[in-house]
Structure 1
Amino acid sequence: MGELVTFEELARVSEQLKKEGKTLVQCHGVFDLLHPGHVKHLEAARRQGDVLVVTVTPDKYVNKGPGRPIFGERLRAETIAALGCVDYVAINKWPTAVESIKMLKPDVYAKGSDYSDRESDITGGITLEEEAVRSVGGRIHFTSEISFSSSELINRYLSPYPEEAREFLQGFRQRYSAEGVISKLKSLRKTRVLVIGENITDKYVYVTPLGKSPKENLIPMRYRYEESYEGGALVIAKQMREFCDVVDYQPPQPGVTKIRYIDPTFFTKIFEYQILPEKIRLELSGDAVKQFDLVVVCDFGHGLFDDELMEKVYKSNFLALNVQTNSANLGFNLITKYKRANFFCIDEPELRLAYHRKDIDIKVLSGWLGHDLGCDKGVVTLGHKGSVVYSDGQVFHIPVLSKEAKDRLGAGDAYFALASLCAFGDFPPEVIGFIGNAIAALKVGVIGNKIIDRVSLFKFITALLS
């Protein structure tokens, strides 16, 4: 039976063992669901030396999507320590094993055979780990034992997703593989993109309530701290840069600022105010859009898109359109003001408001909008119900892939960013919706309008389709 220690203790023990001439073997991983493949791998690793130490990925760095890990870091570490082939276990302190390798200086770093193909490693982590091992005088060893997938077992027996999502994923896996979907996303790298839209700054001011004011009917708040996030079209451009080499965005002036006051205890939004300029300007030459494969229009309804600018964007080779309804423009910024597009992405209230119809099926309204814009692809996002993808008169429903939402800010923008690229790449409608819902699921799991890096999305797709 192994001993569970802190990482600092493991570093001291490892140093002493190496002084004693012991051959130190290190394994590293999440080990979310311990299975026979893990046990065989650890036993094979132990045979490569005198002492086997295992570092476990901490919860905050388990990058496999909402609902993961299934088991907490302490329980995962204790389970590994219960194995007879393991000598020491510690919870790692970093996202990857690179730093722990440099500190522990193992003679052998053992990985499963599925990591031996560097090309199939979507994170590129195995290359960095191998470099770290060699830098401390060690070597990497790939075990060749029976292999299982924790994600596949979790999806089959412990899925954190609703029944509708489980049924969808079961069918989707039969038609598409994770490798195939990721390969499609990678194929978009050379797409030249121009993003046009308002530049928005989202500021979160965290406050906690004091007592009721004795003189006024209000609750004073105590200022704690604040955070600012890039938003609007700028964050859409930055999200797309994760997948494309050329994404051009020139921020219109002046920008928009939205300030939200939040109680951090349960992330309760208390009050919001907006700094809205009277007029926003963007200098764009008449034929500039023709230099790009894809033009992404993010119309937040703050006055940027006048008739002159709209006429310019109509010249785009491929025009992706997102026209938002919000508290500052309710009823006055409808997607039907545009004459054409190749792809649209709006939410259900925005679509219903555009046609002033509450009672018509969303699938019918999607067809109306596709006809009016002259495009054969579009998306209507449905919040907690997922999204609907319209394509050539057909409609596909993709259920939500998130378990819970910490903060919905920017989820629709992230969906639009990826869905636009996928539509330009002529991806199947199911795949467009799946990728859009996947990145939105990751987005609602973080506080603030932060970018989802491509590796995180690739790992989530792999976990979903295992």
Structure 2
Amino acid sequence: MIENKYKHKVKTAAELAELLGDPPRRRKIVMCHGTFDLVHPGHIRHLIYARSKGAKLVVGVTADEHVKKADHRPFVPDGLRAMNLAALETVDFVTIDPNATPIENILTIKPDYFVKGYEYQRGGLHPRTAEEKDAVESYGGEVIFTPGDIVYSSSAIIETGPPDLAVEKLMNLLEGEKRSFADLKAALQAVKGVKVHVVGDTIVDSLTVTSMIGASGKTPTLSVRYEGRRDYVGGAGIVAKHLEAAGADVTFTTVLGKDDLAEFVREDIGRSGIHLNAIVDETRPTINKNAIVAGGYRMLKIDTLDNRGISEQIAKKIVRGIKNTAVDAVVFSDFRHGIFNGESIPMLSAAIPDAVFKVADSQVASRWGNILDFRGFDLITPNEKEARFSLGDQDTVIRPLGTRLYEEARCKVLILKLGSRGSMTFREGGGELRTFFGLDSFADHVVDAVGSGDALLAYATLALKATGDEVVASVLGAMAAAVECEIDGNIPVTPDMVLKKIETYERRAGFQE
């Protein structure tokens, strides 16, 4: 790989201290430090100036966990930021700083000159800059400020039009975690035959197609011509269908009414080869969400549902189903339409056998619910809005927000869905194992993003259960979500579809057409 040509320039602070020796030195060592989220012309001018002051230039890069100055940052992970700098001729060495400030690295490397941008001295020294200056001067070094010039902002560039770095970030992750595209393909095979029990609310999504006739001149009443209606199994039902399409052996427990839509669900699920455990509640309808479309625009949505919590009798039937169905994993697909509530969740969670892999997804965009109701699960997959709702926090930037949710949920793995910005995975860290990592969206042409989270949930669940690998599970889930985004309608994603997407990115990673 091209990146291997520059790897020798990326060192730890301890390695650099041994390599460069202690001052006084005949050949001066210069050091800079920053985030360098996107290397722009201002950075280049700063680095060229710094390099002119000595024989060697060392650049410290802030580690991902300490980048908190803007939302969804860093945009570029630290390994890739370090490689971007290492590829520059003017830079001799790069070190990823695991500390919140550069002071410890300064005292370890002991550069002769520590170079800061001129903006850091305007209006007097910031207390943090003063601390850095004290550290440099403690061994006889000197702080230099670059001359005044145009100040560029990585944040402004990223927010104006973020570049597409999905391939580069993926390669950086796979290489850093010692994974490969072969591992992704192998996982697609490994998920086949995993036994999964999905428990959740079935929603029949309907599309009533019309054409505009006109509007009343006296009242705000639109007149449309009926042209047809299409029904689809959604909610927890489509999660079950994604899992089955991926090759899992699926049991689906849900609550249906006693009506025609319930029969539609039975027939549709039956054709999919899923084992359906439908519990009938004659007091409520089968959930239906009917979108009225005119001229390609959704004019109105009519929901037929009853969000009352299920009765204790029905909850006990679901509990028996969970206890008596031998599976490898249980997925709670919570749309807050009755099955999951304050009383039923503890009962249903307690029914899962200890050795079974536990997954929860709580989609509460317009209803009351909380992903933290599923504490202690192996995998949870909320989106940003659901994460903020669960913590009552609309202000914290994404990475610290996800870390806090991960800690409070006490789960093993958290995949935080970020829509068009991709996803971020949180896990137990330690040693060289990073505690979080991000992936950009792999969707090339978004046609319909509805259902992408369901596809991610299905493939991430199966891959994590089959391989125990958070990286592989996160990538496969993201690939499946991208495939779903490129399809019109919530259609089950097959392994062949995901394989095609993997191979596309494998070609791009190899700079092939």
Q: Same fold (TM over 0.5)?
A: yes
Matching residue of 1:268: 297
The answer to whether residue 289 in structure 2 is matched with residue 258 in structure 1 is: yes
Describe the shift of the 1:365–1:169 C-alpha distance in structure 2 as closer, same or farther (beyond 3 A).
closer
Contact 1:186 1:243 in 2 (8 A): no
Contact 1:199 1:234 in 2 (8 A): yes
Determine the C-alpha separation between the residues in 1 that align with 2:482 and 2:376: 30
2:496 to 449, 455, 460: 455
The answer to whether residue 408 in structure 2 is matched with residue 372 in structure 1 is: yes
The answer to whether residue 247 in structure 2 is matched with residue 206 in structure 1 is: no
Determine the C-alpha separation between the residues in 2 that align with 1:440 and 1:191: 20
1:343 to 379, 382, 385: 379
Structure 2 residue identity aligned to 1:404: H
Matching residue of 2:226: 223
Contact 1:197 1:297 in 2 (8 A): yes
TM-score, normalising length: structure 2: 0.55
Moved >6 Å (runs of 4+): none
Q: How far does the alpha carbon of each residue in 1:164-194 deviate from its partner, in whole angstroms, 9 at most, with x for none?
A: 2132244356554433212112112232111
Determine the C-alpha separation between the residues in 2 that align with 1:422 and 1:207: 42
Q: Please state whether the residue corresponding to 1:227 is helix, strand or coil.
A: strand
The answer to whether residue 450 in structure 2 is matched with residue 415 in structure 1 is: no
Matching residue of 1:167: 168
Q: Could you say what the CA RMSD is over the residues aligned between the two structures, in angstroms?
A: 2.3
Tell me the CA shift for residue 427 of structure 1. 4.4
Q: Please state whether the residue corresponding to 1:465 is helix, strand or coil.
A: helix
Determine the C-alpha separation between the residues in 2 that align with 1:162 and 1:229: 36
- How many residues align? The count is 301
Structure 2 residue identity aligned to 1:319: K
Contact 1:194 1:289 in 2 (8 A): no
1:291 to 326, 330, 338: 326
Contact 1:192 1:244 in 2 (8 A): no
Contact 2:243 2:458 in 1 (8 A): yes
Contact 1:198 1:304 in 2 (8 A): yes
Q: Please state whether the residue corresponding to 1:210 is helix, strand or coil.
A: strand
Q: Give percent identity, aligned residues only.
A: 23
Determine the C-alpha separation between the residues in 2 that align with 1:358 and 1:399: 22
The answer to whether residue 475 in structure 2 is matched with residue 439 in structure 1 is: no
Determine the C-alpha separation between the residues in 2 that align with 1:339 and 1:166: 34
Matching residue of 1:326: 365
Determine the C-alpha separation between the residues in 2 that align with 1:251 and 1:304: 8
Structure 1 residue identity aligned to 2:226: Y
Matching residue of 2:197: 194
Contact 2:378 2:413 in 1 (8 A): yes
Contact 1:396 1:429 in 2 (8 A): no
Tell me the CA shift for residue 363 of structure 1. 2.2
Tell me the CA shift for residue 273 of structure 1. 1.7
Matching residue of 1:55: none
Q: Please state whether the residue corresponding to 2:405 is helix, strand or coil.
A: helix
Structure 1 residue identity aligned to 2:328: D
When Rg is computed on C-alpha atoms for both structures, the one with the higher figure is 2
Structure 2 residue identity aligned to 1:405: V
Contact 1:409 1:448 in 2 (8 A): yes
Matching residue of 2:444: 403
Q: Please state whether the residue corresponding to 1:302 is helix, strand or coil.
A: coil
Q: Superposition pairs for residues 5-44 of structure 1, below 5 Å?
A: none
Higher mean Cα deviation, 398-407 or 349-358? 398-407
Tell me the CA shift for residue 433 of structure 1. 2.4
Determine the C-alpha separation between the residues in 2 that align with 1:168 and 1:387: 12
Tell me the CA shift for residue 206 of structure 1. 1.5
Structure 2 residue identity aligned to 1:299: D
Determine the C-alpha separation between the residues in 2 that align with 1:378 and 1:423: 12
Contact 1:173 1:465 in 2 (8 A): no
Determine the C-alpha separation between the residues in 1 that align with 2:373 and 2:197: 21
Tell me the CA shift for residue 215 of structure 1. 2.5
Describe the shift of the 1:463–1:403 C-alpha distance in structure 2 as closer, same or farther (beyond 3 A).
closer
Q: Please state whether the residue corresponding to 1:211 is helix, strand or coil.
A: strand
Tell me the CA shift for residue 447 of structure 1. 1.9
Matching residue of 1:4: none
Contact 2:208 2:290 in 1 (8 A): yes
2:422 to 386, 396, 408: 386
Tell me the CA shift for residue 289 of structure 1. 6.5
Describe the shift of the 1:309–1:359 C-alpha distance in structure 2 as closer, same or farther (beyond 3 A).
closer
Determine the C-alpha separation between the residues in 2 that align with 1:309 and 1:364: 28
Contact 1:340 1:372 in 2 (8 A): no
The answer to whether residue 336 in structure 2 is matched with residue 301 in structure 1 is: yes
Contact 2:426 2:436 in 1 (8 A): yes
Q: How far does the alpha carbon of each residue in 1:146-172 deviate from its partner, in whole angstroms, 9 at most, with x for none?
A: xxxxxxxxxxxxxxx952213224435
Q: How far does the alpha carbon of each residue in 1:335-363 deviate from its partner, in whole angstroms, 9 at most, with x for none?
A: 12234311110100000011111122322
Tell me the CA shift for residue 239 of structure 1. 0.9
Determine the C-alpha separation between the residues in 1 that align with 2:448 and 2:193: 32
Determine the C-alpha separation between the residues in 2 that align with 1:176 and 1:242: 25
Higher mean Cα deviation, 351-360 or 401-410? 401-410
Determine the C-alpha separation between the residues in 2 that align with 1:169 and 1:360: 26
Contact 2:309 2:340 in 1 (8 A): no
Q: How far does the alpha carbon of each residue in 1:116-146 deviate from its partner, in whole angstroms, 9 at most, with x for none?
A: xxxxxxxxxxxxxxxxxxxxxxxxxxxxxxx
TM-score, normalising length: structure 1: 0.60
Q: Superposition pairs for residues 99-178 of structure 1, below 5 Å?
A: 163-171=164-172, 174=175, 176-178=179-181
Q: Please state whether the residue corresponding to 1:325 is helix, strand or coil.
A: coil
Determine the C-alpha separation between the residues in 1 that align with 2:163 and 2:210: 35
Describe the shift of the 1:376–1:367 C-alpha distance in structure 2 as closer, same or farther (beyond 3 A).
farther
Contact 1:438 1:461 in 2 (8 A): yes
What are the ranges of 5 or more consecutive residues in structure 1 without an aligned counterpart? 1-160
Contact 1:194 1:296 in 2 (8 A): yes
Q: Please state whether the residue corresponding to 2:318 is helix, strand or coil.
A: coil
Tell me the CA shift for residue 223 of structure 1. 1.9
Q: Please state whether the residue corresponding to 1:406 is helix, strand or coil.
A: coil
Q: Superposition pairs for residues 233-252 of structure 1, below 5 Å?
A: 233-252=236-255
Matching residue of 1:358: 394
Describe the shift of the 1:290–1:340 C-alpha distance in structure 2 as closer, same or farther (beyond 3 A).
farther
Contact 2:187 2:472 in 1 (8 A): no
Contact 1:213 1:219 in 2 (8 A): yes
Q: Superposition pairs for residues 82-93 of structure 1, below 5 Å?
A: none
Q: How far does the alpha carbon of each residue in 1:437-466 deviate from its partner, in whole angstroms, 9 at most, with x for none?
A: 211111122222211122111122112212
What are the ranges of 5 or more consecutive residues in structure 2 without an aligned counterpart? 1-161, 258-285, 430-434, 508-513
